[in-house]
Amino acid sequence: MPTRKMILIFLGPPASGKGTQAEILGKNLDIPVISMGELLRYECNHHSKIGEKIKEYLKKGELVPDDIVQNILLRRLEKKDTKKGFILDGFPRRIKQVHYLENIKKIFLSSSDLLIVFYIKVSDQEAKARVIDRRVCECGAAYHLKYNPPKRRGICDVCGKKIYRRSDDDPKVVSKRLRDFHRRIKPIVDYFSRQGVLVEIDGEKKIEEVQEELKNRLNEILNSA
């Protein structure tokens, strides 16, 4: 396993599987996965002042403002478990946040360290089909009614609570989310591509196959750098 510090970034449309892929890779590399969506939902579920504000944006299928996102993220990155590096899932979401990421890089990486951006690609059609049947639980467990259903209908395998559809997975807002995603992602992808750190991954294969490709591409980079 690599000794250099790494920041790995996962980009991809809703339901591209990037969260799942990030989790598996993070475990293998023994670095934490920092999911921006989860950090935000945590604030919401704990009814903090900031959480209430965030809820309003999410309900409308809108993005949470940069200053809120950045504060929450930096607070998380200050924890000790990021010493060897970390994976970012769901950040940066728009080009302005890329500049903020440059600052994070300055704080956390030296010149021999690595920043790699994985772009998990999935067609709109596939993304929509996946989102509509996605369910989650308060405990963090995630399900898909077709591909990964709970053992008892509507009940979480892990904790026994009721599973539910996230409000931003509502079919009515999914098309808007996808449109927004493509508009936002283009300049970000272009930016990382120019930096030579972008790795495109076909996200429509099986989970294990996608993970295999990720690992292979990562090893190629580590061996050549």
Residues at the site binding Zn ion, with contacts judged by CB under 5 A:
137, 139, 141, 156, 158-159, 161
Exactly one of 5, 18, 55, 135 is catalytic; which is it?
A: 18
Q: Which of 160/187 has CB closer to Zn ion? A: 160
Nearer to Zn ion by Cβ, of 8 and 137: the residue is: 137
Q: Annotate the chain with three-state secondary structure.
A: CCCCCEEEEEECCCCCCHHHHHHHHHHHHCCCEEEHHHHHHHHHHCCCHHHHHHHHHHHCCCCCCHHHHHHHHHHHHCCHHHCCEEEEECCCCCHHHHHHHHHHHHHHCCCCCEEEEEEEECCHHHHHHHHHCEEECCCCCEEECCCECCCCCCECCCCCCECECCHHHCHHHHHHHHHHHHHHHHHHHHHHHHHCCEEEEECCCCHHHHHHHHHHHHHHHHHHC
Q: Known catalytic residue: 165?
A: no
Nearer to Zn ion, 163 or 214 (CB): 163
Question: Which C-beta is closer to Zn ion: that of 22 or that of 156?
Answer: 156
Smallest distance from Zn ion to CB 184, Å? 31
Out of 93, 128, 130, 135, the active site residue is 93
Distance, in Å, from the CA atom of 191 to the CA atom of 17, rounded to the nearest integer, reads 23
Instruction: Tell me whether residue 217 is one of the annotated catalytic residues.
Output: no
- Least separation in angstroms between residue 110's CB and Zn ion is 40
Please confirm, yes or no, whether 177 is among the known catalytic residues. yes
Nearer to Zn ion, 159 or 225 (CB): 159
Residue 194 burial class via C-beta count within 10 angstroms: exposed 0-12, middle 13-18, buried 19 and up = exposed
Active site residues: 18, 93, 134, 166, 177
